[in-house]
Structure 1
Amino acid sequence: MNQWTVSEPDSIVLDEPVQSAQVRMIAGALNVVAAEGPARIEVTELKGEPLQVSLVDGVLTVTYQHLSWNDFGFGGQLKTMDAIKDGFKDLVSSLKRKRKSRAVVTLTLPADAVVKLGSVSADTTVSGLQTDTAVYAITGATTLVGLGGKTEANSVSGDVDAQSVGGELKLKTVNGDLTVVAGTATTVRANTVSGVVTLDLTGAAPADVRANTVSGDVAIRLPRPADTKVEAGSTTGKFSTAFEELKLGGTWGGQRLTGVLGAGSGSLEVTTVSGSVSVLARPEDDTPSLVKELTDGSDGTEDTA
């Protein structure tokens, strides 16, 4: 067993293989990077309570002494978002009464390491991992870059951005925005209550995509030619699409945009109560982000309602 107490900025090179990592942060920033060579930990900023680091049987743990997964409201597994929100509120209130703890930590791990990350208000960035990645946050931003395998990000009010993520992607927030840029995942799940969902998909293989909101708008850009069956419904939101094959039906208070693009091998399902729905086309050899495209109004989308 290797154990360290880190009370000031430091760098630790781990001479044993790391198969998985579990990190629980309060405030600051957490960066997890895949790279060859020995795993290492770099703490470039540290205030308040010291960090406790251990490496046991290939499992690397970085946390605070009195901070457990139960403090995050999901006990190691995701419960309802209300339970997480209440748990985080209690945690933040407790921490404010004690001391302010902040750390900036970078973990360099092998690409096949399995990671599970929790933060109260720290911004989290994960890049290059190719197995299982799980992030649980409250207010900090989450950025996922170049990941494979199974990726899951859950947040209460922090935004989640995923860039060039493949494999299986699951994103969930209460009111944070969910953004996927140049996504190649074959399975995408995006769920939020009031956040905006923006999905820019570039994968060549047909994907299974589902997006759900209550009041948040949903904008999805598909590669052209597309190969998917589309079913999108909104109670009061507006619809727009760049695909002539998609038709708007139903009545006010329950409209649906449906149709089959190409052979319909993939599936796209969108459900929202009051959010608007846009299904856009991604031209070949086109690289601008969907966020910019929507901002400058240059998408060529035609309103259908």
Structure 2
Amino acid sequence: MPRWTIEKPDQLTFDSVDGVKELGVRIVAGRLALLASDGPPTLEVTEVGSTPLTVTWEDGRLSVLTWEGVLGWLRPGRHDSTLTLTVPKDCRIHAGVISASAVLAGFENRTSVKSVSGEIVLDGVSGEISAETMSGSVESRALTGDLSFTSVSGELTVAAGTPRRLRANTVSGRITADLELKPTGHVTLNSVSGAVVVRLPSGVDTDVTLRSTSGTIETAFDGLTYNGRPGGRSVTGRLGGGMASLSVTTVSGGVTLLRGEPRGGEK
């Protein structure tokens, strides 16, 4: 099994595009960039903390670690690392950071990213995506696959998303989603006290269910029915011909449904 220990800035190139099917990365602090590429897989290290990087490559799995074990990252010392990895777009991704920021771009298979407080950006990532944070924010750009988001207080922002499935659960984090829903698109957003803001284009075809126990509910779309009752309120109805679905549920967080420009540049 090829194995490297990196203690200073360095670069590795792996000799086969097909040689990396799965990538696992764990760093504590600093910056991480994971990029899809048609070229040979590479690792560029421009900064290493007091704990060296351990790199292994076996049976199509590439691992880049700055800690091993559950509490390895608690060791004293400077933990900042700056890494850029390029691997094939169909590579399965498993990334874990503590306070590091991470950018993932162009992947089309299964992507899993976990963070404590680091900010995560998913740029043009499709396939099946799982993002879990404690307080770190997640920003998704041009989403076309399935995204599952779970957080305590971290924010989720989805820009120009056309998801097949979007599921988000947060306690106090804000959820902001600018979406264009296809007939097969299904969106389920749940929050306790965090506000939820969704923008859909005019002419969208979707069923809508917005519920809150004590939070306000506002919508810019006509034709939806408001129901206020002791212990809860809701706005429900069908926009256009339905088919897609949007469901938002909060306890005390406000819910806002905005109306954007017609989809796809339609008049």
Band of TM-score, shorter chain: over 0.9
For the structure 1 residues 91 and 243, does the alpha-carbon distance in structure 2 shift closer, same or farther, using more than 3 Å as the test? farther
Cα drift, residue 286 of structure 1: 8.6
What's the counterpart of residue 165 of structure 1? 143
Q: CA RMSD in A?
A: 1.6
Structure 1 segments (4+ residues) deviating >3 Å: 203-206
- Please list the CA deviations of residues 247-302 of structure 1 after superposition, one character each: whole Å capped at 9, or x if unmatched: 21022530001111111101111110001111112213799xxxxxxxxxxxxxxx
Q: Match for 1:4: what amino acid?
A: W
**In the alignment, which residue of structure 1 is the partner of 2:14?**
14
* Alignment coverage as a number of residue pairs: 263
Correspondence for 1:60:
62
Question: What code does the residue aligned with 2:14 have?
Answer: L
Asked if 1:280 corresponds to 2:252, the answer is: no
Structure showing the higher helix proportion among its residues: 1
CA drift at 1:190 = 1.1
Q: Which runs of structure 2 are paired with 1:118-137 in the superposition (5 Å)? A: 118-137=96-115
Aligned with 2:203: secondary structure?
coil
Is the 1:27–1:101 Cα contact (8 Å) retained in structure 2? yes
Deviation at 1:206, TM superposition (A): 3.9
**Matches of 2:41 and 2:188 in 1, distance apart?**
36
274 and 45 in structure 1: CA distance in 2 versus 1, 3 angstrom threshold? same
Q: Where does the alignment leave 5 or more consecutive residues of structure 1 unmatched? A: 72-89, 288-305
Looking at structure 2, the residues matched to 148 and 20 of structure 1 have their Cα atoms a distance apart, in angstroms, of: 16
| Residue number in structure 2 paired with 1:146 | 124
Look up the SS of the partner of 1:47 in the other structure.
Answer: coil
- 1:252-271 equivalent positions in 2, closer than 5 A: 252-271=230-249
Paired letter, 2:202: R
Counterparts in 2 of 1:268 and 1:91: CA distance versus 1, 3 Å: farther
TM-superposed CA distance for 1:2, in Å, is: 1.4
Distance 2:147 2:155 in 1: 15
Q: Any conservation in 2 of the 1:186–1:205 contact (CA below 8 Å)?
A: no
For residues 147-186 of structure 1, what are the alpha-carbon distances to aligned partners after superposition, in whole Å with 9 as ceiling and x for unaligned? 1110111000001100001111111110011110000111
Rounded Cα–Cα distance in structure 1 between residues aligned with 2:154 and 2:134? 7
The answer to whether the 8 A contact 2:45-2:84 is kept is yes
Listed one character per residue, the Cα deviations across residues 107-129 of structure 1 (whole Å, up to 9, x for unaligned) are 10111000000011110110000
TM-score normalised according to structure 1 size:
0.83
1:43 maps to which of 45, 53, 65: 45
Q: Letter of the aligned partner of 2:38 in structure 1?
A: E
SS of equivalent residue, structure 2 residue 102:
strand
SS at structure 1 position matched to 2:56:
strand
Aligned to 2:3: 3
Distance, in Å, in 1 between the alignment partners of 2:147 and 2:183 is: 15
Q: What code does the residue aligned with 2:81 have?
A: A
User: Counterparts of 1:277 and 1:252 in 2: how far apart (Å)?
Assistant: 18
Q: Give runs of aligned pairs for residues 86-235 of structure 1, distance below 5 A.
A: 94-95=74-75, 98-235=76-213
**Aligned amino acid, residue 170 of structure 1:** S
Q: Indicate conservation of the 8 Å contact 1:3/1:53, yes or no.
A: yes
Q: Which residue of 1 aligns with 2:33?
A: 31
Q: Is the 2:42–2:86 Cα contact (8 Å) retained in structure 1?
A: yes
Q: Distance in 2 between matches of 1:53 and 1:232?
A: 47
Residues 204-243 of structure 1 show CA distances to partners (whole Å, capped at 9, x for unaligned) of 4441100000000001111221111111111111111111
Structure 2 residue matching 1:165: 3-state secondary structure: coil
Helix, strand or coil at the partner of 1:188 = strand
Whole-angstrom CA distance in 1 between matches of 2:132 and 2:212: 24
Letter in 2 for 1:32: L
For 2:223 and 2:111, how far apart are their aligned partners in 1?
37
With normalisation by structure 2, the TM-score equals: 0.94
Distance in 2 (CA, whole Å) between partners of 1:282 and 1:133 is 30
